[in-house]
Amino acid sequence: MTTEVERARRLVAGAERIVVLTGAGISAESGVPTFRGAGGLWKSYRPEELATPEAFARDPRLVWEWYAWRRGLVANCAPNAGHLALAHLAFTHGSTTLVTQNVDGLHHRAAEEVAGEEDPRKAFPLEVHGAIHRDRCSRCGRRSPGRLDVDASTAETLPRCVECGGMLRPDVVWFGESLDPEVIGASFDAARAADLCLVVGTSAVVHPAASVPEVTLQSGGAVIEVNPESTPLTERATLSLRGSAGELLPALL
Ligand code: BJW
Ligand code: ZN
């Protein structure tokens, strides 16, 4: 075991309150593509083309085609050792808050897998960018479970709200849209109270989520980053561990 991992283990063991911020990288080893970098989801599309309300208004069929593909992909993926290690941490460490930018639901599935006799909700994350397996009506806001068999072949076959007939959309947060104030507020509260923030698999460029570790630092807490690449957070982190979440998190936790 490297010295850096040993130092990180000591920080985790000594922490009273832990907040964990995860990003797409934690699901990479489950087979879910990341957004940025080699093989990222944005490779053939710019984010503004697909993950904005303007893109949806312009071409809902294209946006739905992308989300239907991703919904099917995620449904066939399973939580990996990184998700399981974090769920285990949430059950065993007195005060741990998981915050995820991911919409893939894999932290929930890890919590259900690890829970045993415990209430799985103890290890459910705050999902600051929503959930891909849920729909929301773009007219009345009604939420409903998303279907796996969305027919995005034509604009006419796209899913509609059973209440008002409005166009359904994935219940996720696009660029330029506000995050749920309760969810992001609870995330910042946890970051402020934490003496340790563990940041896993995020490029740390999308705000306001990227500010979560900054809040812990400003409150005098420590930050451990787990990522095979350096990010804008690396220089400010107390410790930065280079490697994959699936390998490092079980060793760390
Ligand atoms: C591994 C690994 C392995 C690989 N193990 N690691 C302040 C400053 C500048 C701009 C702004 C600001 N505040 C707000 C903004 C605007 C904007 C923003 O942040 N823009 C920046 C990009 C410049 N933010 C917003 O618009 C947000 N809304 C908002 O602020 O509302 C108020 C407002 C309204 C109007 C105007 C202004 C303000 C909303 C952001 C919504 C983001 N939505 C998305 C899509 C969600 C739905 C979907 O999934 O389709 O969320 S974009 C996408 O990026 C997704 C992700 O959650 C998010 C973050 O990406 P993440 O998770 O970091 O993934 P990657 O791919 O970037 O990185 C993966 C990492 O993993 C890499 O580092 C790898 O090295 C690593 N890795 N394998 C561990 N095995
Ligand atoms: Zn509706």
Q: What is the pLDDT of residue 47?
A: 65
Inform me whether the pLDDT recorded for 45 exceeds 80. no
As a whole number of Å, the end-to-end CA separation of the chain is 13
Mark the residues whose beta carbon lies below 5 A from ion ligand 2: 137, 139-140, 142, 161, 163-164, 166
Residue 5's pLDDT is 95
pLDDT exceeds cutoff 70 at 1: no
191, pLDDT greater than 90:
yes
> Ligand 2 centroid to 214 CA: how many Å?
38
| Cα atoms in the 13 Å half-sphere on the side-chain side of 96 | 25
Catalytic annotation present for 88: no
State the ligand closest to the CA atom of 85.
Answer: 1
Q: Whose CA is nearest to atom 6 of ligand 1?
A: 201
pLDDT band at 41, cuts 50/70/90? low
83, 107, 108, 129: the catalytic one is: 129
24: DSSP letter: G
Burial of 183 by CB count in 10 Å (0-12 exposed, 13-18 middle, 19+ buried)? middle
Closest ligand to C-alpha of residue 66 is 1
Give 57-67 pLDDT, tens digit per residue. 999 999 999 99
Give nearest CA residue, ligand 1 atom 11: 207
Number of H helices, E strands in the chain: 9, 9
pLDDT in tens, 225-247: 999 999 999 999 999 999 999 99
CA of 62 to the centre of ligand 1 (A): 21
167: CA distance to ligand 2 center in Å? Answer: 7
Buried b (16+ CB within 10 A) or exposed e, 61-85: bbbbbbbbebbeebeebebbbbbbb
CA 45 to ligand 2 centroid distance, Å: 29
Q: How far apart are CA 201 and CA 21, in angstroms?
A: 9
Tens of pLDDT, residue by residue over 146-187, are 999 999 999 999 999 999 999 999 999 999 999 999 999 999
The tokens of 89 are what? 């941490």
Mean pLDDT on 39-57: 78
What's the whole-number mean pLDDT along residues 183-211? 98
pLDDT of 43 strictly over 60:
no
Q: How confident is the model at residue 42 (pLDDT cuts 50, 70, 90)?
A: low
Amino acid, single-letter form, for residue 130: G
Q: Is 129 in the pocket of ligand 1 (CB under 6 A)?
A: yes
Q: What mean pLDDT value characterizes the chain?
A: 95
Looking at residue 26, its pLDDT comes to 98
Higher pLDDT, 47 or 12: 12
The residue nearest atom 50 of ligand 1, judged by CA position, is 51
Q: Which ligand is nearest to the CA of 165?
A: 2
Q: Nearest CA to 79 among 57, 54, 43, 104? A: 104
At residue 251, the pLDDT reads 95
Mean pLDDT of 127-134: 98
Give every CB contact of residue 128 below 8 A, 6+ residues apart in sequence. 99, 100, 101, 173, 179, 180, 183, 184, 187, 209
Across residues 128-141, what is the average pLDDT?
A: 98
What separation in Å is there between the alpha carbon of 144 and the centre of ligand 2?
10
User: Which ligand 1 atom is at minimum distance from the Cα of 104?
Assistant: 49
Helix (H, G, I), strand (E, B) or coil at 126: strand
